[in-house]
Every structure is written in C-alpha cells, then in structure tokens.
Chains A and B, each alone.
Chain A
Amino acid sequence: MIPGKPTRETSPPHPLDKVMPLSAALAPLQPGMRLMLGEFVGAGEPVACVRWLLDSALDELTLIANTPGLRGGFLKALLFDSGQIREYIGTHVGTTEQSTAAYLENRVLVREFFPMGTWAEKVRAGAMGLGGILVPVGVGILDQPGLFPDLPTAKQTLDLNGQRYFVEPALTADVSIIKGWRADRLGNIEFRGTSTQNQRDIAMAGRYTVAEVNEIVEVGEIPPERVGCPGVFVNAVVQGVSLAEQHELYRQHWVKLGRLHAPTAAV
C-alpha cells in the first residue's frame, strides 16, 4: 500500500518506510477536498508542503486551520490570494492581509467563526472518533440572530445538568498535513517547543495524513516517550526545510514585521 522510498541510499529499506517525495505524498489531495493544516498564527506551518500547494493547480479546497497564518505575505496566507480556497473553517480571518481581503471581497466562504477552544475540541472530536462535543462558550452570544447569515441552520443547543451548551459536530478532513521536528521512517513524530499545538489531533482527524519534518532519522532514534504523534496516525513523511533554515525564515520575517531587531554586522 505505502510506497517505501528511502532517501538515503546507505539505509536498507524498512518494510514500513513512509518517507517519500512531496509529490507522491500529496498525490491523494484532489481539488474540492477538505484539507486540514497544523499551525498557530503561522508558527508550526509545514513550509515545504505549503510551497508545493501554492505551485499546484489544486483548487476548490476547504481549508481547516486554526488561523489563516502570519501577516506580511507569509506562506499559508498566500493560499487566500491564489484562489485555491473555496471555504475556510477556523477561528479568525484577521491575522493576515490576504485572508481579510478574501473574506471581505467574498472570495472565500466563512460560515462562522469558532472560539479557539471550540475549534480545537471539534478537531479533537474528529481525531478521537466522536460525533461532536458540548461547548458552553459563546451560548447567548454566537447564536444571536443575524450574526452568521451564511449558516444554513441555527446553531443547535442542548440543556444538560442545568447548563446550556452548543452541540458542535466533529471536524474531519480528507487530507491532513502536520509539521513536526523529527520523524523516523515509521512516521513517528517528535515535536519541538510551542509547535506541538494540536498537530497530533490534526493527524488523527485526517483520513490520510502527511507529516513534514525538519529531519528524518532512523527507527529507534526517537525514544518512544518522546513520540508526540505515533506513526500509526501518519501515512507519509516528507523532508521539509532544515531546522536552521526554518529559524532563518522566521527570523527574517520577524525582522520584516518589526518583531525582532536585525542582527548587527559585527556578529
């Protein structure tokens, strides 16, 4: 089923090797599909996969992501300009200029905004095989008439133990793309720092999941207790930019946005 394709000629092919080139890994993604992406305001984005998507002819996609990304024309945000996204399901459209324009000019459908905790739990429900969740946040506020005119039906509520909740269906995707630090050839993923996010849940909520990482290591190099997303939830592993390149990409963008001082020439 899984086309094994070791990238290092020195290592013998592992029977369960999930490492493959980008184009092979993303071949199952077709126009019109639901695509879920790991990120948080642009942090933890799968850089190589987003670049590949931008170069592809894939369109009519439903993008499920926490936010549209980071302002200043950074990576995923450009998908809102390229005409490839039909609908966006997330918490916010204002984090990038591209998503704001696409939303206000009616180029991308946004039926409603979710509180971030609600969005995260909807994804988690999809990951864990649940039909949905009960959420108290926003009851009496987000169900006000006229707030979200593109919603086909009113938001459903349920009373339980004296409290009113929204009934929020699970979110799932045809294809999920997550970003990790290291992967072994079985697809076991190790995350770094705050980029853990809900990448594991996103992996589990996709029918088919691609993991992009900075570094691919041999099986056994990631201690089992450091595996943040078991390879069982991953169908394909792709080599992304190195960690050093990733740091440089973000540092330069932070300087551009005035969030970091440029290094002095003396260094």
Chain B
Amino acid sequence: MTSLKDRIARRCAQELHAGQVVNLGLGIPTLVANHLSPDAAVIFHSENGVFGFGPKPDYHHADSDFTNAGCEPITLPAGAALMDLATSLGAMRNGYIDVTILGALEVDAAGNIANWATRRAGRWWPGIGGAMDLCYGTPTVIAALQHTDTHGRPKVRHRCTLPLTGAGCVKLIVTELAVFDVLPGGGLFLRDLQEGATLEQVRNSTEADFTVAETVLAGNTVAECV
C-alpha cells in the first residue's frame, strides 16, 4: 500500500526529465528520488554545494564530509561536482536550477507558496534556509503537499495567509488527490486526478476556485458510472 506522501512523491517524479537540474526540499520532496529509475539522468543539486550527488551510503561508507542540505550522508558518484556555498546559492538565485520540488504549508491560486513560518509563542518560526532563494530563481517550482492540514483545513487556498516563501512562483501543485497547473497570470487548472480520487473530493477540500480539464471531467464521469 502506498502512503499518501509516496503517492504525491511518485506523481512529482513523473514531472522530471533527463538532464534537468533538480533541487528537492525536505519532507515529501525528498521521497521523489525513490520513485525515479536509476537511469533517469536527473542532476540533483543540494544547497550546501553539490551537483549530481548519489544515494545514501551504508554505515562504513558514510563520510562526514559528504552530506546533503539536511546533513544526511550522501555519495558523490562519477560526474558529481562540488562548489562553495555562495556559488551554490548564486546558482539558485540565478536560474541554474531547472526544477525545485518544495513542501508547503499553503499554496494559492496566484502561485504563491508559504513554507517557512508558522506562528509559535507569538513569533514566526522556524526560518527560511534556502527555500526563498529557490522560489526566487527556479523556473519550475512544484509544490508537493497534502491536500488538507491535520485539522482537515484546505491547504490550496484562494490566498495564502502565512508569510510567503515565494510570490507567483509555483507552476504545479501536486497533492494526494490532484494535480493543478497554476495558469500564467493566476488561476488553477485541475489537470489530473490522482488514482482513486474524485472531482467531488477535490472540490470539497480545495478553497481556491479552479477550472477542470476535459479529460478529468470525462474520466470522472466514467469513474462515477462504475
């Protein structure tokens, strides 16, 4: 059985193509790598200064100087390239990363994403890290998130209520129920339903308005007839 998070990650993986430089954020996005074939030829980037890193090593091969942005051990296979921190963040700001997949607290119909701050003890917590640089400079930002929060409230909002990480930067929203394109100029377009999800379910758990692809309308009708 596939968990909700893996369902989201698997769908995100379908959006990645050979030769793309990709940065995966923490959480659900990290799982995307598990759903790519070994010959996917995607170049993974990590903020701390590496292009083309490889999977986690075993205990005896874990090198304390080979780590990813979450301080987890990685490998550096043939073709990997290292750089210093300022270069790595400069690459993010300046559009050298093709795709980033980021977790989100909220996304909205204008392509805004909020993922760095919640209100705790009267203050914004926990902090920004590299997410804002990625949102600023990456041509394709994919938001990978569960459709509702732990209280069942919609996370795909008309307008984000939390401090933003990026404004108008999200191109695609992937949840366990749905895949939305963010249209140029704003507005959501329901491109796909995830397996087992219904249009009704998506309508009931999405705050933002959206238009629906013909294929979804057709497929949904079929599904309802079954």
Query: A: which residues have CB within 8 A of B?
Result: 40-44, 66-67, 70, 90-95, 100, 103-105, 113-118, 120-121, 124, 136-138, 140-142, 144, 147-148, 181, 192-198, 200-201, 246-247, 249-251, 254-255, 259-263, 267
- Residue in B59, B71, B85, B128 whose CB lies within 8 Å of A113: B128
List, in ascending order, chain B residues with CB within 8 A of A181's CB.
Answer: 65
Closest 5 CB pairs of A and B: A94-B126, A92-B127, A117-B89, A193-B65, A250-B64
Interfacial chain B residues near A198, Cβ < 8 Å: 84-86
* Residues of the A chain whose Cβ atoms lie less than 8 Å from the Cβ of B129: 67, 91-92, 115-116
Asked whether B63 lies within 8 Å of A193 as measured between CB atoms, the reply is: yes
Known: A41-B70, A43-B67, A140-B167. 12 other contacts (CB 8 A): A103-B123, A117-B92, A141-B167, A193-B65, A194-B48, A194-B49, A194-B50, A195-B65, A197-B48, A197-B49, A250-B64, A261-B59
* B60 near A136: Cβ-Cβ < 8 Å: no
Contact of B136 among A90, A137, A259, A261 (CB under 8 A): A137
Q: C-beta contact mask, B114-138 vs A, less than 8 Å → 1, else 0? A: 0010001101111111111100110
Distance (Å) between the CB of B92 and the closest chain A CB? 6
With A116-B133, A194-B82 given, is the CB distance from A249 to B64 under 8 Å?
Answer: yes
Contacts of B64 on A, CB cut-off 8 Å?
A: 43, 195, 246-247, 249-251
Distance, CA A91 to CA B48, complexed state (A): 13
Contact between A70 and B125, CB atoms less than 8 A apart: no
Given A103-B123, A198-B86: A136 touches B136 (CB 8 Å cut-off): yes
Partner of B86, one of A40, A124, A246, A263: A124
Residue in contact with B60 in the complex, picked from A41, A137, A259, A267, CB distance below 8 Å: A267
Q: Which of B49, B82, B130, B132 has the most CB of A within 10 A?
A: B132
A118 CA to B129 CA, complexed, in Å? 10
CB pair B62–A250 under 8 Å, yes or no, is yes
Chain B residues, CB < 8 A from A94: 125-127
B167 neighbours in A (Cβ, 8 Å): 140-141
Indicate whether A194 sits within 8 Å of B66 (C-beta atoms), given known contacts A117-B89, A121-B86.
yes
> Is the CB–CB distance between B69 and A120 below 8 Å?
no
Interface string of B84-116 (1 = CB under 8 A from A): 111001101100000000000000000000001
Complex interface: chain B residues within 8 A of A117 (CB): 86, 89-90, 92-93, 130, 133
Indicate whether B163 reaches chain A with its CB closer than 8 angstroms.
yes
In the assembled complex, which residues on chain B have CB atoms less than 8 Å from the CB atom of A261? Answer: 58-59
In the complex, whether B72 has a CB less than 8 A from a CB of chain A is: yes
Complex interface: chain B residues within 8 A of A194 (CB) = 46, 48-50, 65-68, 74, 82
| Residues of B with C-beta under 8 A to A193 | 63, 65-67, 76, 82
Minimum distance in angstroms from A2 CB to a CB of chain B: 27
Residue pair A197, B66 in contact (C-beta under 8 Å): no
* B73 interface residue per 8 A CB criterion: yes
Alpha-carbon separation in the docked complex, A41 to B164 (Å): 23
Task: Determine if B56 is an interface residue (Cβ-Cβ < 8 Å).
Answer: yes
Beta-carbon nearest neighbor of B59 in chain A: A263
Nearest to B130 among chain A residues (CB) is: A116
Measured CB to CB, the closest approach of chain A to B96, in angstroms, equals 12
Which residue among B59, B73, B76 has the maximum number of chain A CB atoms within 10 Å of its CB? B59
Q: How far is the CB of A63 from chain B (nearest CB, A)?
A: 14
B36-58 with Cβ < 8 A to chain A: 46-50, 56, 58
Please, which residues of chain B bring their CB within 8 A of the CB of A144? 163
Q: What CA separation (Å) do A260 and B66 show in the bound complex?
A: 14
